[in-house]
Amino acid sequence: MDDDSNVAGEVEKLHKQCRVIGNERQANRTVVREMMCRQRKELSLLEQERKDLLLRLKVVQSPSTMLRDEHHIKNLQVLLARHDELDKTIQQAKDALIHLDGQIQQMEEKVNWQQREVAGTTSCNLQVMKAQKLISVLQNTLEKENRGLDLMLKHNSDLRHEIDSLQREKIDFKVLYSRLRKVCCCSLFLHVPC
């Protein structure tokens, strides 16, 4: 009888362990189901994000986008070439102004010297008037050159702003393109079956 009570006790003990294991298994099933549900939702979101990124990449790599970008690059090259031309023209205008300033200074010195040489004579007055007229003509030429230079400087400034704007657009596009490439490359490696 002692053996029967031992066997009955062992059987009861095993039944308890089976119930505990069954309860734990049931709890684990619930946790696993919830985890699988979350993973499916996350996988669905990742698949949708992948589709969106592929669509964006397709738009970025589309012929019309590439043609537009090529057009922007050509425009930028033209603007840069025009910028160089204007810089050269501005430098030439500055050199001409320096030359005219030198001529004006020489004329003023010549007039001053002639005034000292022939002080009080009428011929001196005529020479002074001629020199003053020449100075006036040279000053008018200098003013015209200054106005032309001012216009070129303003146009050059406008071109610089346009070039800066196009360069910022180019940088923004490159950043967006590299991000899309990274995200696209990463998403291509994340094919996980549901």
Provide the residue ranges of all domains of the chain, joining segments of one domain with +. 1-60, 71-194
Question: Measured between alpha carbons, how far is residue 92 from residues 1, 71, 88, 107 in Å?
Answer: 124, 31, 6, 22
> Which pLDDT value is given to residue 41?
93
pTM value is 0.35
pLDDT above 70 as % of the chain: 88
Distance CA 79, CA 51 (A): 38
DSSP 62: S
| Confidence class for position 194, pLDDT limits 50, 70, 90 | very low
Token look-up 């308890």 returns 16
Average pLDDT over every residue of 24-28 = 88
Model confidence at 121: pLDDT above 70 = no
Cβ 186 vs Cβ 53: under 8 Å: no
- Answer yes or no: is pLDDT of 60 > 80: no
Residue 125, token pair as written in the block: 């007055």
- Decide if 90 contacts 156 (C-beta within 8 A): yes
